[in-house]
Amino acid sequence: IDNQLRGRAGRQGDPGETRFYISLEDDLMRLFGGDRVTNLMERMNIDEDTPIENKMLSRAIEQAQTTVESRNFQARKSVLEYDDVMNKQREIIYGQRKQVLDGMDVKGIIMGMMESAIGHQVRSAFMGQAHLDMAQCRELLRSVEGVYFTKYTVKIDESQLSTLTEDDFIDMFTKAAADFYEKKEQEITPPVMRELERVVLLRVVDEYWMEHIDAMQDLRQGIRLRAYAQTNPVDAYKKESLEMFEEMVDAMKEETVRRLYSVRLRQNEEVKRERVASGMTENVGGDGTV
C-alpha cells in the first residue's frame, strides 16, 4: 500500500516525500517482523517521537510488507481459481439455457436425455454383468414401466435372457419410449408439446442450478481444510466440483424426462371441476360456512 501511494502521488505530479507510520504492535510487524525488529528498537533506545531513519529497520519493514503482499497475491490468485471453476460451469448452463430461450427445437435434446436416462438405468442394473437373470430383469422393467412407456409394452421371456445384452435392453427401451412420446405428442398436439418442452426444461435447469450453487458454496467453505491433509485445496475443489456438476446434469436430464413423460392432457370438464372446487375452498369461512 505504501508503494501504491507513492506511485499515485508521482503520477499526479505531487511534490514532497513520504513518511511511513507503523506500530510494533501492528499485525504487519507482529506477524512478519518478529522479535528481530523489537530487539533492534530496544538496542537503539530512540525516543518514541523521533523519526527513525535506519537501513536495517527500513529493510525489515519492507521485507514484512513484501511477505504480506505475497500472501495477499496468493489469496487473490486462489479466489480467482475457485471463481474460474464456477464460471466455466455457469457458461455451459447459461449457454444451453439461452439456446432454449432463443427458440431452438428442444425435442432432439429431450430424446437425447431420454436415451441417456434409460442407458443409465440399464447400466446400473447390469453392473458389469454380461446378462441379467429373471429377477433382475423384472426389477429393471419395474423401474422404467409407467415412466417411459406403459406396462407390458416390452415383453421379455426368460428364454431370451441368455442372449440379451446391455445394448439390447437399451435399444428395446428407447424404441418403446420414443413411440410412447410420439403418441403423447399427437394427443397434446406438437405445438403445445414444443412449448411444454421449453417450459419444463427451463424450470428444471433453474431449480437444479440454484441447488448446485449452494452446494458449491458449501464445498468451497470446507475444502480449505484439505490443506491440513497435505492436499492442494484448489485441485481437490476442481475435481469434486466437476463430479458434482456431472451428477447435477445427469439428475437434471432424468427429472426433465420424467416430468415430460408424466404430462397428461386434461379434459375441459376436469378443469372446470377443479376450478369450481378451488372457488368453493376459497369461499369457505373460518366457521366452515360458504
Q: Is 216:244 a contact under the CB 8 Å cutoff?
A: yes
For residue 29, give the CATH number of its domain: 3.40.50.300
Is residue 84 a part of any domain in this protein? no
14 has a pLDDT exceeding 90: no
Burial annotation 193-210 (CB, 10 A radius, 16+ → b, else e): bbebbbebbeebbeebbe
Same domain (yes/no): 7, 128: no
Q: Are residues 51 and 148 in the same domain?
A: no
Q: Is residue 163 part of a domain?
A: yes
Band of pLDDT at residue 58, cut at 50, 70 and 90: confident
Residue 93 lies in a domain: no
Last residue of a domain, one of 27, 61, 77: 77
Number of structural domains the chain divides into: 2
Q: For residue 61, what are the domain limits?
A: 2-77
Same domain, 6 and 71: yes
Distance CA 244, CA 238 (A): 10
Model confidence over 230-271: pLDDT tens digits?
A: 778 888 889 999 999 999 999 999 999 999 998 876 654 554
Take residue 250 and report the three cell numbers written for it. 445427469
Query: What mean pLDDT is reported for the chain?
Result: 81
The CATH code of the domain that includes 246 is: 1.10.3060.10
Pair 70, 163 in one domain: no
d(CA 243, CA 223): 14
Give 99-141 pLDDT, tens digit per residue: 898 888 899 999 999 999 999 999 999 988 888 888 999 999 9
Q: Is residue 112 part of a domain?
A: yes
Mean pLDDT of 72-96: 86
Place of cell 508521482: 10
pTM of the model: 0.67
Q: Are residues 125 and 47 in the same domain?
A: no
Q: Are residues 233 and 147 in the same domain?
A: yes
Q: Are residues 143 and 202 in the same domain?
A: yes
Tell me: do 242 and 135 sit in the same domain.
yes
Q: What whole-number percentage of the chain has pLDDT above 90?
A: 37
Q: What is the 3-state secondary structure (H, E, C) of the chain?
A: CHHHHHHHHHHHCCCCCCCCCCCCCCHHHHHHCHHHHHHHHHHHCCCCCCCCCCHHHHHHHHHHHHHHHHHHHHHHHHHHHHHHHHHHHHHHHHHHHHHHHCCCCCHHHHHHHHHHHHHHHHHHHHCCCCCCCHHHHHHHHHHHECCCECCCCCCCCHHHCCCCCHHHHHHHHHHHHHHHHHHHHHHHCHHHHHHHHHHHHHHHHHHHHHHHHHHHHHHHHHHHHHHHHCCCHHHHHHHHHHHHHHHHHHHHHHHHHHHHHCCCCCCHHHHHHHHHHHHHHHHCCCCCCC
**Does the pLDDT of residue 276 top 60, yes or no?**
no
pLDDT of residue 228: 60
What is each CA distance from 36 to 47, 59, 69, 144, in whole angstroms?
19, 12, 20, 73
Q: Does one domain contain both 191 and 68?
A: no
Q: Would you say residue 238 lies in a domain?
A: yes
Whether residue 40 is found in the same domain as residue 134: no
In this structure, is residue 274 part of a structural domain? no
Domain shared by 127 and 65, yes or no: no
Answer yes or no: is pLDDT of 278 > 60: no
Distance CA 180, CA 244 (A): 32
Verify that 168 and 112 share a domain, yes or no.
Answer: yes
| 254 within domain boundaries | yes
pLDDT (mean) for 199-209? 95
Residue 287 lies in a domain: no
In sign, the C-alpha dihedral spanning 170, 144, 270, 192 is: negative
